[in-house]
Amino acid sequence: MTLVFENESGQTFPFNEEEAANKVIEAALNYKGCPFEVQINLILTDNEGIRQINRDFRKIDRETDVLSFPSIEFETPGSFEGLDKYDELFDLESGELLLGDMMISVDRVKEQSEEYGHSLLREYSFLIAHSMLHLFGYDHMDEGEAEKMESMQTEILNGLGITRD
């Protein structure tokens, strides 16, 4: 797996952000049984940076905690079956599946960690797990989908021992 990681926020956490991201991403890939090596881009930004991207790409002029930009339109969320038929989904040099991009607001991680009363690591990891499920084609547009995503996120994080404090 290749994680293309960039922290443009100028802020840090009391843990290694790239290492933590790698662990959660690997756990999510294993949880869904991804049969491919993958490439993912992760940018850490601030509230203004994520607001600008949200405005430019989603036409929503407000900050958010995480944005996900999947590279693949899954027929069935989380099913990797048949993707190997589409060369354009893979990096020509590495052969890795180009799963997509995620952007996280460091400001929102800090705000939500305090608001929900759990650690920065837990909030950061939760947002990465959440984004990974979006990159796998899951959404939370209705209550059933939201419950399913919440359950999968919890299972991924519990498997890493990252629980709510």
HSE, side-chain direction, 13 A CA sphere, residue 164: 8
**73-79: long-range contacts (C-beta < 8 A, 24 or more apart)?**
73/137, 74/136, 74/137, 76/137, 77/136, 77/137, 77/138, 77/139, 78/32, 78/133, 78/136, 78/137, 78/138
Distance separating alpha carbons of residues 154 and 164, to the nearest angstrom? 9
Angle at 77 between CA 160 and CA 96, to 5 degrees: 70
Local confidence band at 159 (pLDDT 50, 70, 90 cut-offs): very high
Angle at 12 between CA 38 and CA 153, to 5 degrees: 45
How much is the pLDDT for 95? 97
Asked if 89 and 83 touch (Cβ cutoff 8 Å), the reply is yes
CATH 3.40.50.360 fits 2-159, yes or no: no
Distance separating alpha carbons of residues 130 and 67, to the nearest angstrom? 10
Q: Residue 41's beta-bridge partner residues?
A: 4, 101
Crossing angle of helices 106-116 and 120-135, rounded to 10°: 120
Beta-carbon contacts of residue 148 (< 8 Å; ≥ 6 apart)? 138
Q: What is the pLDDT of residues 64-123, one digit of tens each?
A: 999 999 999 999 999 999 999 999 999 999 999 999 999 999 999 999 999 999 999 999
How many residues belong to the chain? 165
Q: What is the pLDDT of residues 20-53, one digit of tens each?
A: 999 999 999 999 999 999 999 999 999 999 999 9
Q: Where are the domains of the chain?
A: 2-159
What is the pTM (predicted TM-score) of this model? 0.96
Local confidence band at 164 (pLDDT 50, 70, 90 cut-offs): confident
Q: What is the pLDDT of residues 141-155, one digit of tens each?
A: 888 888 999 999 999
Percent of the chain with pLDDT over 70: 99
Q: What is the pLDDT of residues 59-78, one digit of tens each?
A: 999 999 999 999 999 999 99
Q: Residue 38's beta-bridge partner residues?
A: 97
Local confidence band at 163 (pLDDT 50, 70, 90 cut-offs): confident
How much is the pLDDT for 165? 64
